[in-house]
Amino acid sequence: MDIRTSRPEDLAQIEKLVVSRMDPSDGVDARLLMTDPDAGCDWVGVAADGDRIVSTLTLMDEVVTLDGVDLPAGQIEQVATDTEYEGKGLVRRLMDWAHDRSAERGHLLQFVMGVPYFYRQFGYTYSIPIKQTRRLVEKPEIVAGHTIRRATEADIPVLQQLQDDAQLSADLRVRHTTPCWRWLINRTGSVTWIVDRAGTPVATGRSTPEEEGDVVLGEIAGVDDDAVKALVALTNPAEVVERHPALEGHLEARRPELEQYLVRIPDIPKLFEHLRPVFTQRLRGHEPDDVLLSFYRTHVRFRWDGEEIGPYEWGGTMLGPGAQGGAGIAPDLLAPLLFGPHGIDGLRRIFSDVYPGPKFELMNRLFPPVTSDLLTFYLP
């Protein structure tokens, strides 16, 4: 079995494979990505049995922004295996392919939205909440003067501005890149909408096609409450991906369960070096101090002098950091600590192997709860 990067001549087989395991629109997506100069065959890995493509996945380039600092990232999508070849470890080998390519592209983390448990086998940890999809129980009233239309590529700048404004309050963000906007507008698996008021775009959202059954509306953004309500009323979805407070009274109650994006951190020292501006910003106003963080098999020390963080000093196994004034952080829980809604104070209440140690205030400054808003190729 040959695990390799896809080639142009593989496209028809890849398209057929993903359609057989997913939906017809996924075949369109595969073609859009593989034939686009901003993505191409380099994004797609395959398992080939001779001339036959029997398993595939896509590694998309993304940027995760935490407190204003951009982190190059990879997102795993379109994972599909021929039913005759399931259970042979092909996805594991393709994940290795993806992680190798991700490292070559300079990604500091990978994330995925997928099948429960499955990706934990490959080093991923549930970390970032996925916004809930809730039934629309009361259709909003439309204020006169709003009209709706499908977005075109000419609308990409205004689409991006509306989404940027909607994400302003989030600590952790993923934007759609300009190429991604182009793919979303041209794909058949969702519809990107624009609401106009007196000829000016005032709201946008993305919905699933009517032919797929109950319509789901997500990525809702608007300049005001009237624009958002007009978007919902004019698309008339059965379900809405929560995002805008103006819709709370129109949606069913939130459910207690939690869905999450899974995150993998392949190299903690590289990520920490990149996060130096984030940690510096968080420690502003705290008195000078020595910081010790143990990930049990490794640890790091650095000095905060009140203005800057000194060099990171990495070391080996440290099982009892609390006795030295440090914090203990299980390495597989670092992703939810850095990117999740709990912070170190919340995680310590859930996991015994995450604790702030004696410098409670210092560690809470370094690892606070994080709010998030992720725009991904596929709607939740």
Q: State pLDDT tens for residues 23-37.
A: 999 999 999 999 999
Nearest to 71 by CA among 111, 100, 33: 111
Arithmetic mean of pLDDT over the chain: 97
Pairing state between β 239-241 and 216-222: parallel
- Would you state the pLDDT for residue 103? 98
pLDDT of the residue at 56 = 98
Average pLDDT for 53-71: 98
**Percentage of the chain modeled with pLDDT above 70:** 100
Q: How many CB atoms lie under 10 A from the CB of residue 237?
A: 23
Helix (H, G, I), strand (E, B) or coil at 187: coil
> What's the rounded mean pLDDT across residues 79-105?
97
Judged by DSSP in three states, 230 sits in helix
pLDDT in tens, 207-237: 999 988 899 999 999 999 999 999 999 999 9
What is the C-alpha separation between 216 and 210, in angstroms, rounded? 9
Residue type, 62: E
Give the residue carrying structure tokens 């494979």. Answer: 17
Q: What is the pLDDT of residues 258-311, one digit of tens each?
A: 899 999 999 999 999 999 999 999 999 999 999 999 999 999 999 999 999 999
- 3-state DSSP assignment of residue 329: strand
- Environment class of 287 (CB within 10 Å of its CB; exposed 0-12, middle 13-18, buried 19+): exposed
Q: Which residue reads 């952790």 in tokens? A: 172
Taking the C-alpha atoms of residue 114 and residue 75, their distance in angstroms, rounded to an integer, is: 11
Name beta bridge partners: 342.
none
φ, ψ (nearest 5 deg) of residue 64: -100, 125
Residues 6+ apart with CB under 8 A from 46: 3, 4, 5, 6, 10, 14, 53, 55, 56, 94
Picking from 160, 229, 214, 196, the residue whose alpha carbon sits closest to that of residue 375 is: 160
Residue 64 pLDDT exceeds 90:
yes
Q: What's this model's pTM, rounded to 2 decimal places?
A: 0.96
Q: 286 φ, ψ to 5°?
A: -90, 140
Share of the chain above pLDDT 90, in %: 98
State the pLDDT at residue 69: 98
List of residues 6+ apart from 285 with CB closer than 8 A: none
Q: What is the pLDDT of residue 42?
A: 97
313-315 and 299-304: which strand pairing? antiparallel
Residue spans of alpha helices (H) in the chain:
11-21, 24-34, 90-104, 156-166, 178-186, 225-235, 268-274, 276-283, 334-339, 343-348, 360-366
Q: 68 Cβ partners below 8 Å, 6+ apart?
A: 277, 278
Amino acid (one-letter) located at 229: K
Starting at the edge strand found earlier in the chain, the sheet holding 354-355 runs 313-315, 299-304, 289-294, 327-329, 354-355
Pairing of strands 299-304, 289-294: antiparallel
At 188, the pLDDT band (50, 70, 90 cuts) reads very high
Q: What is the DSSP string of 39-101?
A: S-GGGEEEEEETTEEEEEEEEEEEEEEETTEEEEEEEEEEEEE-GGGTTSSHHHHHHHHHHHH
Mean pLDDT value across residues 238-260: 96
Supply the pLDDT for residue 212. 85
Distance CA 195, CA 140 (A): 15
Please say if the pLDDT value at position 251 is more than 90. yes
Q: Is the pLDDT of residue 335 over 90?
A: yes
Q: Which pLDDT does position 257 carry in this prediction?
A: 87
- Other C-beta atoms closer than 10 Å to the C-beta of 258 total 10
Report the distance separating Cα 241 and Cα 195, nearest Å: 18
Task: Give the 3-state secondary structure of residue 333.
Answer: helix
Provide mean pLDDT across the span 138-146. Answer: 95
**pLDDT higher than 90, residue 143:** yes
pLDDT of residue 114: 85
Q: Quick one: pLDDT at residue 135?
A: 98
